[in-house]
Amino acid sequence: MAQESPKNSAAEIPVTSNGQLEDSHEHSFNRDLKCSLSVGLGLSETKITSHGFDGAKEGVVEAGQFPNKGSSASPKSSVISPSSAAASRLAGQGCDLIIPTGGRAQQKSGPVVLADEVKNPAMEKLELVRKWSLNTYKCTRQIISEKLGRGSRTVDLELEAQIDILRDNKKKYENILRLAQTLSTQLFQMVHTQRQLGDAFADLSLKSLELHEEFGYNADTQKLLAKNGETLLGAINFFIASVNTLVNKTIEDTLLTVKQYESARIEYDAYRTDLEELNLGPRDANTLPKIEQSQQLFQVHKEKYDKMRNDVSIKLKFLEENKVKVLHNQLVLFHNAIAAYFAGNQKQLEQTLKQFHIKLKTPGADAPSWLEEQ
């Protein structure tokens, strides 16, 4: 073996007379090195020599004695003697591994690309809670300031007047609805009593021969009144159903939009007040970003406020047109039915129901059959 260099020796490998590695020895060395890297170096196949940290030899590979030139036998197992300094240098170089091949070229692995971190859902929820808390705080502060008379509020006089009229009309319509329901209940009880009374008179007319005609007249009268009462009851119930739809669905839907408009107005005034307070303060490197952010939030809530105000105006207009049309028909129906009933004009009462396409339910037909339900 050649004499070790005073510097760090990588390996001692026999060379030919012209200074080049023997082909068979070079291939054998490469194969042993790859096998050692792939399967790991066992204690039975390697000999690790301990060197100090300041030793002259680092990572010495002691190759076994090779057979004579031209022999096809494989060399003995190689011995790798690593040192701490060499291992630290390899660790500092990263994960790139240089594997010698038969030629001069050496190939390195490409850079490792790390994927973007996935957003944490808990952090997103926390951010939403933070924004909601901040918005709630600003709106609550604005409401308290308005009630104490310290804060200013945006008022659309024309729109506010229409909303107040709508709320007042809703209360009055609800009162009419309650009274009409009371009238319907009382009329139903009266019709039920008249029907029972007519049946009693008819029964007595058959059993009392001396009062047969008198009981018979009264039985016919009560039955006719009960029939006309059922017709009037159908007209009143139709009136109640229409007014109930108008009050509890159409008007209520408009008032729901009004509530959303009022919430948007409070948010708009809250962020407007916040922006005004920041504009009154000093302008420096710390406050300018806050002013810009507040300006953006103010613009967002201003657009939302304008949109909701436009929606409320449109709904109030359509509601007024629908209300006039519905109440006109229902009031005409209620008047004609009541007048015809108390005038005893059965024909006029029946024509009133036909005019408004009202169908009366026959006794015993309240519950639909199973075939109709299908």
Cα 365 from Cα 220, distance rounded (Å): 23
pLDDT at 175 over 80: yes
pLDDT at 43 over 60: no
Q: What is the mean pLDDT of the chain?
A: 74
How much is the pLDDT for 181?
95
Q: Tell me the pairing of strands 79-81 and 60-62.
A: antiparallel
In this structure, the number of other CB atoms found within 10 A of the CB of residue 314 comes to 11
pLDDT at 187 over 50: yes
Could you tell me which residue, 11 or 127, shows the higher pLDDT? 127
How much is the pLDDT for 197?
93
Amino acid at 368: P
What's the whole-number mean pLDDT along residues 131-158?
A: 83
How much is the pLDDT for 105?
43
pLDDT at 21 over 60: no
**Share of the chain residues as helix, strand and coil, in percent rounded to the nearest 5:** 65, 0, 30
Provide DSSP, 279-314.
Answer: HHS--STTHHHHHHHHHHHHHHHHHHHHHHHHHHHH
How much is the pLDDT for 358?
81
Instruction: Dump pLDDT digits (tens) for 267-322.
Output: 988 888 888 888 887 778 887 888 888 888 889 989 999 999 999 999 999 999 99
- CA angle at residue 21 from 15 to 25, to 5 degrees? 95
Q: Name 295's Cβ contacts closer than 8 Å, sequence gap at least 6.
A: 275
Cα 305 from Cα 2, distance rounded (Å): 91
How much is the pLDDT for 211?
87
| Torsion angles phi and psi, residue 362, rounded to 5 | -75, 150
- CA angle at residue 322 from 354 to 175, to 5 degrees? 80
Q: What does pTM read for this prediction?
A: 0.59
Confidence class for position 234, pLDDT limits 50, 70, 90: very high
What's the whole-number mean pLDDT along residues 242-260?
A: 93
Could you tell me which residue, 248 or 19, shows the higher pLDDT? 248
How much is the pLDDT for 52?
43
pLDDT at 232 over 80: yes
What's the whole-number mean pLDDT along residues 130-140?
A: 83
Question: The tokens of 10 are what?
Answer: 């990588």
How much is the pLDDT for 357?
77
pLDDT at 122 over 60: yes
pLDDT at 102 over 90: no
How much is the pLDDT for 119?
65
Distances (CA, A) of 139 to 132, 175, 267, 306: 11, 35, 6, 18
Question: The tokens of 293 are what?
Answer: 């952010």
| Proportion of the chain above pLDDT 90, given as a percent | 34
Cα 266 from Cα 332, distance rounded (Å): 43
Buried b (16+ CB within 10 A) or exposed e, 51-83: beeeeebbbbbebeebeeeeeeeebebbbbbbb
Could you tell me which residue, 100 or 229, shows the higher pLDDT? 229
How much is the pLDDT for 48?
43
How much is the pLDDT for 145?
84
pLDDT at 262 over 80: yes
Q: Are 274 and 139 in contact, with CB atoms under 8 Å apart?
A: no
| Proportion of the chain above pLDDT 70, given as a percent | 64
